Structure 1
């Protein structure tokens, strides 16, 4: 009797796997094998220890959801939907970066020069004919390592903050590729947080209230520059926004002076109330028209203010931007809440303002610790 040949078991292109975590739970992820390459998609779903019936039911629900995602991914993988680019429609990585840059320019987004820099790095790292569909977690890890160990634009390593910026830009470009259905997923999302570049803790120089008093009391050769710096101390505007400020941007609303400005860096419009201290350092309008600038300043502002600070007894790092930091820390020191200060600065997120809160907390810690050792 002839032997019956066992049917060949078709290997699944995607398998659902688990990873045991330290707390005893299991993380669910997809093991994806495509075109000779293996990638992983962590589902952020977890099986908990089955200590009772409720736990078992929860795990059954979780497994059902995970298997549904797995089935969807298999369909996407085999049918070419949701961003799987077929071989006749491959897109080169550098072409996509050019498309991404043009899209950002049309939306009037900042960081266009950094996108160009990232494109140069990717050209050096991967070459001109690397296709978008070949990007996987190994490629992304290599991109980060390349910036850390090999990329030397001026013969020296790039700063950690620059490396973080270049990571964020490439990550944004890949997210845009997912939305445009050019790739299935962004491999950066599969990486552990510890593998990604981090923004170093920002060290921000600012003037204390006593130092601002010293600056006010100290004469300066160019009084217009002095007034502009102190105006910034009491309203928080950047030098770029002060230079663009026109008389038509300032108005009175129910007795309160305000200014309306679209911040040059973030493009965010803000309506900023002006305190009496801020108004004190504004020049007289005289016969100037609404379209004329409020402040007329030389291009060497930062060079001019350094001798002034030295004469006032200030030895810390001193640039015009310290006035903006001074405004933020002064308000927080005097009791203003973080959300309000964030809005006054024109920040798009409170997270951007939290660095100032850390400064204030450090001052509180230092104040409390002044008593240490006094009663030993």
Structure 2
């Protein structure tokens, strides 16, 4: 007599205190057991409608059970190539992701993935197979990010840790779609165990603070000029570093126009340059870069010292210039649609954040009037 094959998935029931019956799957495969609670319930059968409802619930539970069995058998019969999973190097896959994003024009995200790859190698070396990237590996990677240092020898900011973890999650999601792995192990990690970026308010400079900065000497003339230039046109640091004289035209009357493709979005923008912006351009020494900038961490260090010298008690990063440009435009009467276009936003909701900042400033100003 032929031995009966044991089912890897069984539908089981659990009586609840309220009289309902919870349905769940008992899954036992390759020596491992887990329970899948379906959030489906049988109710006491008091009427014919109750019986009909329970019949439909059981039918749905059995359909899910059948689907789980098919998934297990598909894996067992090689539809997910487990040898490929063992053979493929995860670091090489991450590097290919960098090139894929670069080819799409997503330069900023490609840089984030490249930074992520650097920390993965520092954590576990460059010989990481996909099969090694499990829940335990990812939890260890999170712990490593908590102690890792970035450029300038400083511990990683919460936003950086969140970005470097999420880049791994995104790559693993793509690997699932490419059938390299059958599931993303990051989905097993609880939200509270993941790196979470702090939600910080958008720092900006007021008109008076900007005048203070202009009047205060800075240890680097090129950093000062580039920062003030961005305050008057809204360019990101990545675009400032890439800006060439060929991107700027019509400088004859003290104003001008700037055209370039944004590094972050890959979108072209055309910006009119005010006299304030043009006045911050350095002397043209050649036809190459407009601003020959130091490293990013050095720029940030110079900006902080400069702001303190000006008596400004704010954490000034380069991106503050972009926030300053947006809030100044809205404060002095520009409409939100125009500001959105000038900033090169692809979604006007991003611009509305600045409009809320300006509204809050107005409310605060009104509240300064004492009760009469």
TM-score (norm 1): 0.67
CA distance in structure 2 between the partners assigned to 1:358 and 1:40 by the alignment: 47
Q: 2:11·2:61 contact (CA, 8 Å) conserved in 1? A: no
Please name the residue that 1:117 is paired with.
Answer: 119
Please name the residue that 1:35 is paired with.
Answer: 30
Please name the residue that 2:106 is paired with.
Answer: none
Matching residue within 142, 145, 148 for 1:144: 142
CA distance in structure 1 between the partners assigned to 2:156 and 2:200 by the alignment: 16
Which has the higher mean CA deviation after the structures are superposed, 274-283 or 301-310?
301-310
CA distance in structure 2 between the partners assigned to 1:77 and 1:240 by the alignment: 45
Please name the residue that 1:79 is paired with.
Answer: 77
Q: Secondary structure at the match of 2:196?
A: coil
> Pairwise mapping of residues 177-188 of structure 1 onto structure 2 (< 5 A)?
177-188=175-186
Please name the residue that 1:172 is paired with.
Answer: 170
> 1:36, CA displacement in angstroms?
3.1
The 3 A distance-change label for structure 1 pair 351 and 179 is farther
Q: Secondary structure at the match of 1:110?
A: helix
> 1:339, CA displacement in angstroms?
7.5
Q: 2:21·2:41 contact (CA, 8 Å) conserved in 1? A: yes
CA distance in structure 2 between the partners assigned to 1:296 and 1:156 by the alignment: 24
Q: Which has the higher helix share?
A: 2
Q: Establish whether residue 99 from structure 1 lines up as the match of residue 93 from structure 2.
A: yes
Please name the residue that 2:210 is paired with.
Answer: 212
> 1:370, CA displacement in angstroms?
5.0
Q: 1:16·1:70 contact (CA, 8 Å) conserved in 2? A: no
Q: 1:208·1:326 contact (CA, 8 Å) conserved in 2? A: yes
CA distance in structure 1 between the partners assigned to 2:291 and 2:195 by the alignment: 40
After superposition, what is the alpha-carbon deviation per residue over 1:194-231, rounded to whole angstroms, capped at 9, x for unaligned?
34221112354320123224445x26578765543332
Q: Secondary structure at the match of 1:260?
A: strand
> 1:137, CA displacement in angstroms?
4.2
Please name the residue that 1:11 is paired with.
Answer: 7
Please name the residue that 2:261 is paired with.
Answer: 262
Matching residue within 197, 200, 211 for 1:199: 197
After superposition, what is the alpha-carbon deviation per residue over 1:306-329, rounded to whole angstroms, capped at 9, x for unaligned?
676456543433344421221233
> 1:192, CA displacement in angstroms?
4.0
Structure 1: runs of 5+ lacking an equivalent: none
The 3 A distance-change label for structure 1 pair 29 and 358 is farther
